[in-house]
Chain A
Amino acid sequence: MPQLPGLLKGLGVTARTAMRTLFPKRGMRTLIPAPQQGSVTVQYPHEKEAPPDRARGVIALHEENCTACMLCSRSCPDWCIYIEGHKVKAPPRRAGGAVRTVNVVDRFDIDYALCMYCGICVEVCPFDALFWTPEYEYSEPHIADLLHDRIRLSEWMETVPEFLDYEPGSEQKVRKVPEFGTDDFAPARKLESDGARGLASGAGS
């Protein structure tokens, strides 16, 4: 069979795609146009797309783990993380031990108007305080509202998915995702109740 000229073939491809989109049904119902089923796109506001595992939607802060070490802030290419903290005395770990000095975060803001979602802060955090979550619906009418403070960032912790095993062959570094209602969230509460901390916050509750 002689080959069709490419020009005609191209026209055939577009026509076939259009037909497949407009009439996706088979058999008797072929002639009923049903582009809703034929199209491959997701009609976003009406239906939601399930983001893939490990999707980089927004960064959550587990405040209790943060020591205000500034590593994330300094490694951020956009300088979009703002941290302020102060030191407090904490009770010794064991009975008879020395009184410890602990860093407490006063301010931890990420400006998502600047953030480029590179994830370096999450990678660099040595205390497992930052986590990716797949949530993506946090657009705002005013650009200043894209600056999420530590309360807002802590609220995202609820949406952090379970830790997924790395693919075989990649670096084996398992992170522990803190769970709600367990001891993971206890230390900060304790500090607050000790009065070490001036302002109470609804973080993580």
Chain B
Amino acid sequence: MTDLLGLAYWAETSIKLGVALIVIPTAALMLGYLFLLKMMAFMQSRLGPQDVGPYGTLQLIADAVKFLQKEDIHPAAADRRVFRAAPVVVLASSFLLFVVLPTGPDAVVENLDTGIFYAMAVSSLSVLGVLMAGWASANKYALLGGLRAAGQLIAYELPLILAVMGVVIQADSLNLQEIVRAQAEGEIFGFGLIGNPFILTQFIGFLIFMISAQAELTQTPFDMPVAETELVGGFHVEYTGFRFLLFFMAEVATAFAFSALATVMFLGGWWIPGFDFNAPALNVLGPVVMLVKILVVAFIIFWIRFTYPRLREDQLQKFAWKVLIPLSLANIVVTGIFKVVL
């Protein structure tokens, strides 16, 4: 981006900051309205919000205003400093995820060489915040929720990373831009018009990634840390007002970021068939294409969320260690063999 516009470092940084401050809440609002409110309502034969704005579009903004007005309550026995820091840690984790997401040949905040590695590392930070929240609330339900989140991490983190490994091996790079390029310049049996989206060659990897992401995002088949019906909200039981809002925003924004990661790694990212990889037009069109693909992936995530009942923590562990990890290891071996042989 610096090369493209020739801006000073401070100007570039402030533009990036401004974009991030606009993009992340907008992303959270969009997913929240489209899927959390409207799609869920339709799947339950309801209408969803109707009264705030046209078709209830401003409902979430009204909710945010309501949250901001609420009293900021700390439980008497809470560890106040940690209690206050926890939502910020969780939100920071999802903010940091947005740093590496590429949306065009130059439209990326930081094109890190180890982009996917960084994304995986940063995304697990949120569990730290969840654990802090659970511990500092001085509430047994919150603590159980936090412990479950930590326990869940052991189950999903390994298959998540192993699923990414397959993509990394095939693309020969940890850089997200290079992964997009590998898909754009790839060929399916000599047919290169649509490139080679890795969902075709890494379909098992894609499945494992989506399942693990579902657990990472604590969406419903794996929402044991939140579990409204048994832990009445888990780690965020004691949070009110804007601190709860931060948790909510982080949850939806992380869902957006993970949909974007899946898009970049498996669905060809921002590249449009027929365009040159470095075409400047893609800086404008790329984000649009990305958004459409992200919405499709997020639709699947929320569709699964609204369909399935909750598993138990031990069922997730069993599933992850007996099915997902062996499967993803086999996927890596097969990918490696093909990489060496072909």
| Interface residues in chain A, defined as those with a beta carbon under 8 Å from any beta carbon in chain B | 7, 10-11, 13-15, 17-18, 20-22, 35-36, 38-41, 43
Contact = CB atoms under 8 A, between A and B. Distances in A.
B308 A17 contact: no
B14 interface: no
Contacts of A17: 42-45
B306 interface: yes
A13 B42 contact: no
A14 B306 contact: yes
17 contacts: A10-B307, A11-B303, A14-B43, A14-B303, A14-B306, A14-B307, A15-B43, A17-B44, A21-B41, A35-B42, A36-B47, A38-B42, A39-B42, A39-B45, A40-B45, A40-B46, A41-B45
Interface of B: 39, 41-47, 50, 303-304, 306-308
Contact of A10 (B45, B47, B50, B308): B308
B46 A41 contact: yes
A40 B45 CA distance: 6
Given A10-B308, A40-B46, 12 more contacts: A7-B308, A11-B303, A11-B307, A14-B43, A17-B42, A17-B45, A18-B43, A21-B42, A21-B43, A35-B42, A41-B45, A43-B47
A17 to B, nearest CB: 5
Nearest to A23: B42
A18 B39 contact: yes
Instruction: Across the A-B interface, give the 6 residue pairs with the lowest CB-CB distance, nearest first.
Output: A18-B42, A21-B42, A18-B43, A40-B45, A14-B307, A14-B43
Contacts of B42: 17-18, 21-22, 35, 38-39
Given A18-B39, A43-B50, A38 B45 contact: yes
A39 B307 contact: no
Contacts of A43: 47, 50
A39 B47 contact: yes
B112 to A, nearest CB: 36
- The secondary structure that dominates the B interface is helix
A39 B39 contact: no
Nearest to A45: B51
Contacts of B308: 7, 10
A17 B46 CA distance: 10
B48 to A, nearest CB: 8
Contacts of A14: 43, 303, 306-307
Nearest to B44: A17
Nearest to B304: A11
Contacts of A39: 41-42, 45-47
Contacts of A38: 42, 45
A188 B201 CA distance: 89
Contacts of B307: 10-11, 13-14
Contacts of A11: 303-304, 307
B203 to A, nearest CB: 16
A178 B303 CA distance: 56
A23 to B, nearest CB: 10
B303 A15 contact: yes
A7 B214 CA distance: 15
Contacts of A21: 41-43, 45-46
A41 B47 contact: yes
Contacts of B306: 14
A142 to B, nearest CB: 22
A18 B47 CA distance: 10
A43 B304 CA distance: 27
A40 B43 CA distance: 11
A189 B69 CA distance: 54
Contacts of A15: 43, 303
A13 B308 CA distance: 11
Contacts of A13: 307
A15 B307 CA distance: 9
A156 to B, nearest CB: 30
Contacts of B44: 17
Contacts of B304: 11
Contacts of B50: 43
B136 to A, nearest CB: 35
Nearest to B305: A14
